[in-house]
Structure 1
């Protein structure tokens, strides 16, 4: 670590808030938000959609931080330049690239919020090196997966001197990698080659071996955990292709280790992956998932979906399998729609998928409009349903659609306006008085039913009564489902069956019921 001049005031508690990319490689007009309460962010999407580009931009946008240790000042973090990832070539100079990063940090007791503007002129990138904000940043790329055996040129007779690693940090790295791979390493070594070159070595069972004999995934894990160990508080860790060369169980254990480091050091960890298992509910409390999708027609923008589900995203690249499809927020809304479909007698023709948070509905509706223009897919059999507690009015939905479909092609009444109107037509919501959430509406419906209908209904009513002491509506429903017993999905079905007996059920579900009934006649004629 080199000595350097200390900045006038110590900078701490750095945090990424969001990034807006106007144009950079394949990324066009996309905004990505990082959640403060989730230390890990997974960037997902098909190959070539710009996942790695996001990491490259972030790695290049900060300069190392300076930390005083006793009487010395040391540099912490890696220093990457924009040209390291975006070099000028005969094919292009990146001169149209433009982006911005919003971040916060503290100088003493003062909290600061800044927007860093990034652009490329014909000659150079801005900001220049000395104008970049300070943040300890590390980038772990795909090259870390290249086995040492493929890097080493002298292979006939490799000689080195071995020295045990006995320091606490090396021991922790060894144990963490062993925890992830389910391998009990008893020792680790530094194998010194000629000059300054060295190789990591470990002992597993009775076998000693160096990184020349390690699997690529094993080698990369040692590098990654070493990076996490040396990182200081509030560092930014960027990992490309986190799941590369790891089986699913090992990846899941790695995610939990990343969480431990992130929480103990207040790290912000952003990684790319193709593995859909990271979207599982087991990780939802600490991993924010961001899916990228490109429209195939003008304006050719990039869309970012927040914490959505693979089944909904797959539909953007696939085809409609059933006659009708409805997308909703979560399993509660899905259960309501399943009951409605049964009542209308179209359940066998309907596919229901979850899109995650309500805000995603507008991005999906916009994406489907652009998709239709590229492949001609009719959308009269597709509906996006909101819970009714958010974006309940038409004006609120218009505002969100305008945020995504920003073009004004053709002026008033032109292509831009038609797209926005078509996207709005794909959206509806449950009729929720006073913007109550589905859990509150359904619980109140159940409580409005009197005992004595039948044994099964009475069982649900008694369970709901037992849960009445809970304050939050969602907790009331979850407790009710616990008291009903059995698998959650089955208990939820019983709960919805009773709610559907309420006199308020028809009005609450009317928009979706009407949509289903209009299409029922046509479907039955076709079958």
Structure 2
């Protein structure tokens, strides 16, 4: 049997990010992603929460021959007549292992020079290696909303493996609903839909509630990712009620700590500030043209500073 190919870079950790200028963010002090595997970024609308995720998503590229998404700054920040993004600048602090050598606190600078027409740096092909997944708000749109046909056809096949067993187990716990099987439905155009069975009723993602569909997407993405992966989720709380959100955080926190994965998400749900024993709480706000990140603060303190609700 052929020996399984090994990654050349392992043990990746994003220690921090400091954004000098990027979109609506100006002079943001260092955001540290420790000591927990999970980090929640809170803040008022327009404070730059999603911009931070977009910057982080573009730091790495997947190693050739291994899974992961390849996001680029130019995809999140496209040029337009009103936005060249010149002068953008942020610095990340990285730790990783190359072969047997541990490299700690390596600083890398990303951005775009002030000169019009400048290219983004780092050069894309020279970015650090890591398995990364980004779940934007668009991924949470119910599938039925994107289907245009009135009559949808597909062929169903049952799927069973350790990953599926874990997804069903955790989904049952989070949603307080007994899921017993997982199916794949292939449409004539090749598109794959997921399906489940609960209490004798089988149905596809077309019939799932928006929150239910989101839970399965998040669980599948996080559980299938390899050790040391980075998962970014914009508005984790969207479409979820408090109890489901608490259980989801409980599940993914335990899993991430065990598998050395990092999960960074944005949220408007102030309830997460009560979970600082398992989440790094970071509030981001803009005050008089300057951006600030506060650690382990409470929403009412931020509201007094800004006059806005997070």
TM-score by length of 2: 0.93
Say whether the 8 Å CA contact 1:160–1:194 is kept in structure 2: yes
Q: Deviations over 1:296-335 (max 9, x none)?
A: 2xxx21011001111211212349xxxxxxxxxxxxxxxx
Counting only pairs closer than 5 Å after superposition, residues 354-369 of structure 1 correspond to structure 2 as none
Say whether the 8 Å CA contact 1:188–1:200 is kept in structure 2: yes
Query: 4+ residue stretches of structure 1 with deviation over 6 A?
Result: none
Q: State the shift of 1:76 in Å.
A: 2.1
1:290 maps to 282
Number of equivalent positions: 300
Say whether the 8 Å CA contact 1:34–1:41 is kept in structure 2: no
Q: State the shift of 1:159 in Å.
A: 1.2
Distance 2:306 2:59 in 1: 33
* Structure 2 counterpart of 1:252, from 219, 229, 246: 246
Counting only pairs closer than 5 Å after superposition, residues 221-300 of structure 1 correspond to structure 2 as 221-280=215-274, 283-296=275-288, 300=289
1:128 maps to 123
Say whether the 8 Å CA contact 1:18–1:31 is kept in structure 2: no
* Structure 1 counterpart of 2:31, from 26, 29, 33: 33
Distance 2:212 2:219 in 1: 11
Structure showing the higher strand proportion among its residues: 2
Partner SS state of residue 227, structure 2:
coil
Partner SS state of residue 65, structure 1:
coil
Counting only pairs closer than 5 Å after superposition, residues 3-402 of structure 1 correspond to structure 2 as 10-66=8-64, 74-112=65-103, 113-121=105-113, 122-154=117-149, 156-280=150-274, 283-296=275-288, 300-318=289-307
Distance 2:244 2:59 in 1: 31
Say whether the 8 Å CA contact 2:60–2:127 is kept in structure 1: yes
Q: State the shift of 1:32 in Å.
A: 3.0
- Which structure has the greater CA radius of gyration? 1
- Segments of structure 1 that go 5 or more residues without pairing to the other structure are 1-5, 67-73, 320-527
Structure showing the higher helix proportion among its residues: 1
Q: State the shift of 1:288 in Å.
A: 0.7
Q: State the shift of 1:48 in Å.
A: 0.6
Distance 1:22 1:198 in 2: 42
Structural RMSD (CA): 1.6
Q: Deviations over 1:232-265 (max 9, x none)?
A: 1111111100000000011000110111211121
Partner SS state of residue 291, structure 1:
strand
Distance 2:235 2:260 in 1: 22
Q: State the shift of 1:109 in Å.
A: 2.8
- Segments of structure 2 that go 5 or more residues without pairing to the other structure are none
Partner SS state of residue 251, structure 2:
helix
TM-score by length of 1: 0.55
Say whether the 8 Å CA contact 1:188–1:203 is kept in structure 2: yes
Distance 1:32 1:218 in 2: 35
Q: State the shift of 1:65 in Å.
A: 2.6
Partner SS state of residue 76, structure 1:
coil
Q: Name the stretch that deviates more: 200-209 or 309-318.
A: 309-318
Partner SS state of residue 66, structure 2:
strand
